[in-house]
Amino acid sequence: MSARNPQLNRNGELTHLLTLEGLPQAVITHILDTAEPFASIGEREVKKVPLLRGKGVFNLFFENSTRTRTTFEIAAKRLSADVINLNIGASSTSKGETLLDTVDNLCAMNADMFVVRHSQSGAPHLIASHLEAMGRTHVHVVNAGDGRHAHPTQGLLDLYTIRHYKREFQGLTVAIVGDVLHSRVARSLIHGLTTMRAAEVRVIAPRTLLPSHVETLGVSVHNDMREGLRDCDVIVMLRLQNERMKGALLPSAGEYFQQYGLTLDKLALAKRDAIVMHPGPMNRGVEIDSPVADGERSVILPQVTFGIAVRMAVLSIIASK
């Protein structure tokens, strides 16, 4: 990979979306601005625009995720693209074909865009580099989640949601609560918030669920949730993966809820107008209590709606390059 940011073309325009790390503030702002009009398309009678008509968007999911795949499928269809869903776990990989051979084959079928989900960090980068090496500069990659590395469209929809409710990032204190260690969602959001110059980003978690040297990402660390939530503007709860609950990292789901579950009680410590976010799917009664999830400060469902708009923005910006 060249020293140049592999997501940007020679003119500094977005050509792949791989990670929010290192993405210039102006590019992020452009994506959020582009998403604005799309956010209202869903309420129209006819929800389609012809921006990607005749383009082939390939959902290349090496890791199963019906929810994320569906949001990209909806976004692409609203842009009038032709969508091909490929659950690769069940096909070529099992036949021993390499990742890049699969990509080359799909390019030969005139794919215009790959939306890639992979359990291994770096897979979308690898594909983007390969496309560039092969001179296929008209084919674009969007990272839909790779290992523990990044989930940039989730990060962008989180930023969109925060901007929507708080107008600007300056002066905001954002708390990210839970399993930061295994969360690409947290990592992408932290990079995004740092770039957008949020006043303070706090991570709140037990030591066992924090990456070592997490402070180097520019966040402050809290092990006590009540202390960490004090005067926050935005609270982002992370999903506690079921497998963590059974492992040695945590005492029990009940005790986790006791210490790190967001209840109305704990929420009262944040600012009066604080918003509550969650990437979904929620574990009610584990990381979040139902009165909070369904309460008036929850913006969890608007996040989903904005997620479609943000993905439409990313796909349409990239396709126009």
Nearest CB to its own copies, comparing residues 210 and 308: 308
Coil/strand/helix, residue 139:
coil
Whole-angstrom Cα distance, residue 237 to residue 220?
A: 16
Residue 51 interacts with its own copies (CB under 8 A): yes or no:
no
Q: Which two tokens stand for residue 265?
A: 């009680």
Question: What is the per-residue DSSP string for 2-18?
Answer: -SS-TTB-TTS-BS-B-
Residue 217 main-chain phi, psi, to 5 deg: -80, -5
Stretch that binds its own copies, among 3-11, 90-98, 155-163, 221-229 (CB under 8 A): 90-98
Half-sphere CA count of 263, side-chain side, radius 13 A: 12
Nearest CB to its own copies, comparing residues 143 and 303: 303
Residues 183 and 214: beta-carbon distance below 8 Å: no
Stretch that binds its own copies, among 6-14, 54-62, 168-176, 269-277 (CB under 8 A): 54-62
Whole-angstrom Cα distance, residue 190 to residue 171?
A: 15
Residue 125 Cα to chain centre, angstroms: 16
Residue 252 interacts with its own copies (CB under 8 A): yes or no:
no
Q: Tell me, what DSSP letter sits at residue 199?
A: S
Quick one: which H or E segment has residue 84? strand 82-87
Stretch that binds its own copies, among 27-35, 83-91, 122-130, 178-186 (CB under 8 A): 83-91
Residue of the chain from 2, 3, 54, 167 that contacts its own copies (CB under 8 A):
54
Residues forming beta bridges with residue 176, ordered by sequence position: 203, 236
Residue of the chain from 29, 87, 220, 263 that contacts its own copies (CB under 8 A):
87
Stretch that binds its own copies, among 7-15, 51-59, 212-220, 222-230 (CB under 8 A): 51-59
Using CB atoms within 10 Å of the CB of residue 164, give its burial: 0 to 12 exposed, 13 to 18 middle, 19+ buried.
Answer: middle
Stretch that binds its own copies, among 17-25, 106-114, 143-151, 209-217 (CB under 8 A): 106-114
Residue of the chain from 63, 73, 158, 233 that contacts its own copies (CB under 8 A):
73
Residue 104 interacts with its own copies (CB under 8 A): yes or no:
yes
Residue 158 interacts with its own copies (CB under 8 A): yes or no:
no
Footprint of its own copies on this chain (CB under 8 A)? 42-48, 53-56, 64-67, 70-71, 73-74, 77-78, 82, 84, 86-88, 90-92, 95-98, 101-102, 104-110, 242, 280-284, 301-305, 307-308
